[in-house]
Amino acid sequence: MNDVRLPVIADAQFARLFGTAPMVVSSAHGRVNLIGEHTDYNGGFVLPTLIPQATVAAVAPSSGRRVRVWSRELSADASLRAFHLGDEEAGQGWLDYVQGVTVALRAAGFEVGGFDLAVASDVPLGSGLSSSAALEVSVLRALRRLFDLDFDDVMLAKIGRAVETDFVGAPIGIMDQMVSSLASVGEALFIDTRTLATAPVALPAGTELVVINSGVAHHHAHGDYRTRRAECERAASMLGVVELRDVGVADLGRAQALPSPLDRRVRHVVTENQRVLDAVAAMRANDADALGALFSASHASQRDDYECSVAAIDQLVAIAQADPAILGARLTGGGFGGSIVALVRTGESPAAAARVAEGYTRASGHAPTVLVP
């Protein structure tokens, strides 16, 4: 996890696109959530960590209020996308994440001038590894330096989240932007998403991670993810609490009187919050077996109670859980596709990842990608 090679935007490439050299280059990593799924927008606990894959943003100021944008992955050849500050309009595909940054900055009281932006990323899209937050945080870091904006890393995360909730229209929590903005590669970051208190936590000695993209993409701005959030809000209202964070394990009896599927949604969120706390305790106690068991229990809860997994992910997780080197595995990210994370004994992750990927390909026909190691 410490072998980080950032994508590169060469000065010459930037000059060919925009006629000048970049003034600021910033980066931000994607993330994998170790445990604590669908708890962040319920005011709960999460435990993500950064992955080596990252997004790099190179910027230079331009005259007037014009913004020009190029993406190594999403632009055709040297084609540029453009908009004017104050005239941002949603519905422009991936450009919305850049337009959303300028809109969210303005809403937070920070004005920027025109700029040229080139982006390169090796965080795979639709993988459940927070490619959008890596883009938002890398661009916000670049603009903060370029225009000498006065906000800290927590405010940066809040602005990044507003990009998605207020402009793109994805009803996400704040976990992705918090970890991308505040964490360091090689450590997990425990986040209380209600207070935004954080604490670094190390993996148990003798363990490392495997992250595999299933090849089944997911989308947060529509569909079942939005439905799950609405179900949680409805359940909280019926229980008379502000957020499901306010429901504890001792309250599950009352929660189980809710109509289906709200009873199951609440059970997942409540038990998942507890699993995050238990995972932090296991990591601090160097109890790898307990942490692995929590990974697997979390997946079962996502599959059965929250119903945010899909058949291909369940198949991939089952293959991983059956591998002798793997202590536990689970769906990571918002679900409905994406990636899995597995806890593996140190030194065995490359071979274990290869075995799992090969077995999954044979069983499903999907083409997985091993992202870590």
* Size of the chain in residues: 373
How far apart are the C-alpha atoms of 202 and 91, rounded to whole Å? 41
How far apart are the C-alpha atoms of 257 and 35, rounded to whole Å? 27
Position of tokens 């502000």?
242
Give the β-pairing of 207-216 and 369-372.
antiparallel
366: nearest Cα among 340, 332, 345, 341? 340
Residue 204: DSSP 8-state = P
Is the CB of residue 218 less than 8 Å from the CB of residue 334? yes
- Given 40, 116, 122, 176, the catalytic residue: 176
Whether 87 is catalytic = no
Is the CB of residue 98 less than 8 Å from the CB of residue 139? yes
**What are residue 45's DSSP bridge partners?**
192
User: 93-102 burial, b if ≥16 CB within 10 A, otherwise e?
Assistant: ebbbbbbbbb
Is the CB of residue 191 less than 8 Å from the CB of residue 279? no
How far apart are the C-alpha atoms of 95 and 85, rounded to whole Å? 13
Is the CB of residue 125 less than 8 Å from the CB of residue 217? yes
Q: Is the dihedral of CA 264, 265, 269, 275 positive or negative?
A: positive
**Which residues are designated catalytic?**
176
